[in-house]
Structure 1
Amino acid sequence: MSDVDGRSTTSAQPVDVLARAEAEVLEAGRGLGEGALREVLSLPDSRLPELLDLAHRVRLRWCGPEVEVEGIVSLKTGGCPEDCHFCSQSGLFPTPVRAAWLDIPGLVRAARQTAASGATEFCVVAAVRGPDERLLRQVRAGIEAIRADEVTRELNIACSLGMLTGEQVEELAAMGVHRYNHNLETARSHFSRVVTTHTWEERWSTLRMVRDAGMEVCCGGIIGMGETTEQRAEFASQLAELDPHEVPLNFLIPNPGTPFEHYPVVEGPEALRTVAAFRLALPRTMLRFAGGRELTFGDLGARQGMLGGINAIIVGNYLTNLGRPAGEDLDMLAELNMPIKALNSTL
């Protein structure tokens, strides 16, 4: 149809973003780009069930039904020289956390508790800018002790020790660390409002070196640190560019004494929409429920998240915050008929 000047008066109707996601993500396995993710994150609550259902189907199609279970332990707590505004372990803020080291027997006990929960992953974390030789010696001794213990010897060991040099990357790989966690935390455009003592690019450099050394890359961040919807879409797109093996999704816990202590907790529907959007950005990536989910979701919301794109979970306590008892999460997975990923399938 045309008007008197011969110009067309019809135009193609815009394709609904979820219909587009069904074709691009569910059928073709291609993650949504930043623009489409902004649309997803702006969907009304009335469309949340439809969005969660699509994200769950994407997860089953491209990742399968299994859930990877992980436990984490803090080898070196508190006293960190960096100013990450969300973190109670920064030595620059008046938080209740004090510097402390975990000894090797304590590390093995934590690994045993992780193994007893049915987890296959055990992540050793330290609150540092980057590891010094003392810390690397402690990590090396800890890995040797875990490998020597009959109960824990087959656990996959991951580490999160801050920013690394090339030599340190090679050293950790030689120790048998199979996965390294280093979160970008937030979108590049928002990072300087969250951390000022180092840059987003420094974190990115560590992640690239980890990948080049053959270790799996674990990289995610925290939702609810004052970022905009557009910056959440930006962050998901930047993670997709990195293509990590695993993305842990944390939700801000406004810890006392930190600059973010008065930030509001992310509301459940907003958090679920974010989980689903990240799944649509990263259809083949392990997407892990991490810190803050208990506060943000509660029990019902956690179940919805597991049915909205999540396929991995941290059980037990976090670094300086309490989590749910591991048994409750394992019971939830059983009730949802979600099998736990077997150890021999992760080696």
Structure 2
Amino acid sequence: MTDILTRARSKVLEEGAGLAGPELLEVLTLADDRIPELLELAHQVRLRWCGEEVEVEGIVSLKTGGCPEDCHFCSQSGLFESPVRSVWLDIAELVEAAKQTAKTGATEFCIVAAVKGPDERLMAQLEQAVAAIHAEVDIQVAASVGTLTPGQVERLAAAGVHRYNHNLETARSFFPQVVTTHTWEERRATLELVRAAGMEVCSGGILGMGETLAQRAEFAAQLAEVEPAEVPMNFLDPRPGTPFADYPVMDSADALRAIGAFRLAMPRTTLRFAGGRELTLGEIGAERGLLGGINALIVGNYLTTLGRPMEQDLDMMDRVQLPIKALNSAV
């Protein structure tokens, strides 16, 4: 059998077709000395099928903490003894956060809420927030407020939500080890509703939660089946008070192999650096990721963890000579 990267060069780079699960497992088990070769191929794939621009996004939490779900990685669950407590932002605060995000050159601003799904109060506030942001800020608005009903999906689309995030989180076979209060299938169903309503689908997850390499390959293949416009790539940042608090930080070489594998699974998808990249990869690893398949990143802080100052990420993109995606090319 020919080498996996030789096959990937033909199938992914030349034809634009993603690798399947067994092929992705081969990528994830490549020796450390082949990681540079993998990342170079992944970078060529993203340049050919996505272009060279990097999409920058800021996120803000409308409702933080007090969530009734038991996602074992998340300090926002009300079921764990974590230091995060329930907080709500008002519309003016959201508009100001969107303005600050736009100043970085970001084209996307995502409003997030720690809920299983939105109630009427949250839906109404979200609709008002999107309208207020669009009235004052030249930026696209995304949302992530949990599981949706068909009616809620239609309302968000009508309000002008550009993209909806609902992470599958991990492989279907591993999901019950991570969440027990809802199912992987429920998450997938929301993504289908979002696509049918005309919003862009954003779905990713967290790597390094104890999944096997085979399950990591399974997860990438299952995400590819959803055909998301964007995949946020998070790496576990063990949070105090959660069931995963004592888990080890993911090995940086494994993280880089995963970045390459996800790009080879989804050649046309926006792969976004998200939570945990600072802890798992550091500065040099992040630069390698941007030159190894990643073509978007969240700047500033995350929902319950600190990111890097926005200026540092913008400087990093300048060093690796990658242009920031402009709003007029994203609309």
Q: What range describes the TM-score normalised by the shorter chain of this pair?
A: over 0.9
* 1:44 aligns to 2:31 (yes or no): yes
What is the TM-score of this pair, normalised by structure 1?
0.95
1:164-202 Cα distance to aligned partner (Å, 9 max, x none) = 000000000000001000000000000000000000000
1:246-286 Cα distance to aligned partner (Å, 9 max, x none) = 00000001000000000100011110000000000000000
* 1:172 aligns to 2:156 (yes or no): yes
What is the TM-score of this pair, normalised by structure 2?
0.99
Structural mapping, 1:206-217, within 5 Å: 206-217=190-201
What is the DSSP-based 3-state SS (H/G/I as helix, E as strand, rest coil) of the residue aligned with 1:40?
A: helix
1:100-139 Cα distance to aligned partner (Å, 9 max, x none) = 1011111111101100111000000000000000001111
1:216-269 Cα distance to aligned partner (Å, 9 max, x none) = 000000001110000000000001111000000000010000000001000111
Of residues 220, 225, 229, the one that matches 1:245 is: 229
1:67-121 Cα distance to aligned partner (Å, 9 max, x none) = 0000000000000000000000000000000001011111111101100111000
- The size of the alignment, in residue pairs, is 331
* 1:285 aligns to 2:269 (yes or no): yes
Partner of residue 34, structure 1: 21
* 1:122 aligns to 2:109 (yes or no): yes
What CA distance in whole angstroms lies between the structure 2 residues aligned with 1:300 and 1:271? 13
Question: What's the CA shift for 1:148?
Answer: 2.1
Question: What's the CA shift for 1:48?
Answer: 0.6
Of residues 232, 241, 245, the one that matches 2:216 is: 232
Unaligned runs of 5+ in 2: none
Of residues 243, 246, 265, the one that matches 2:249 is: 265
Question: What's the CA shift for 1:321?
Answer: 0.4
Partner of residue 9, structure 1: none
Of residues 300, 303, 310, the one that matches 1:319 is: 303
Partner of residue 135, structure 2: 148
Q: Which runs of 4+ in 1 moved over 6 A?
A: none
Question: What's the CA shift for 1:140?
Answer: 1.3
What CA distance in whole angstroms lies between the structure 2 residues aligned with 1:230 and 1:316? 33
* 1:300 aligns to 2:284 (yes or no): yes
* 1:68 aligns to 2:55 (yes or no): yes
Unaligned runs of 5+ in 1: 1-13
What is the DSSP-based 3-state SS (H/G/I as helix, E as strand, rest coil) of the residue aligned with 1:168?
A: helix
Q: From the CA coordinates, give the structure whose radius of gyration is larger.
A: 1
What CA distance in whole angstroms lies between the structure 2 residues aligned with 1:100 and 1:251? 25
What CA distance in whole angstroms lies between the structure 1 residues aligned with 2:59 and 2:53? 20
Of residues 308, 312, 321, the one that matches 1:337 is: 321
What CA distance in whole angstroms lies between the structure 2 residues aligned with 1:61 and 1:330? 23
What CA distance in whole angstroms lies between the structure 2 residues aligned with 1:62 and 1:147? 30
What is the DSSP-based 3-state SS (H/G/I as helix, E as strand, rest coil) of the residue aligned with 1:93?
A: coil
What CA distance in whole angstroms lies between the structure 2 residues aligned with 1:213 and 1:142? 20
Question: What's the CA shift for 1:206?
Answer: 0.2
* 1:21 aligns to 2:8 (yes or no): yes
Partner of residue 172, structure 2: 188
Partner of residue 79, structure 2: 92
What CA distance in whole angstroms lies between the structure 1 residues aligned with 2:9 and 2:131? 47
1:51-73 Cα distance to aligned partner (Å, 9 max, x none) = 11100010101100000000000
1:292-311 Cα distance to aligned partner (Å, 9 max, x none) = 00000000000000011000
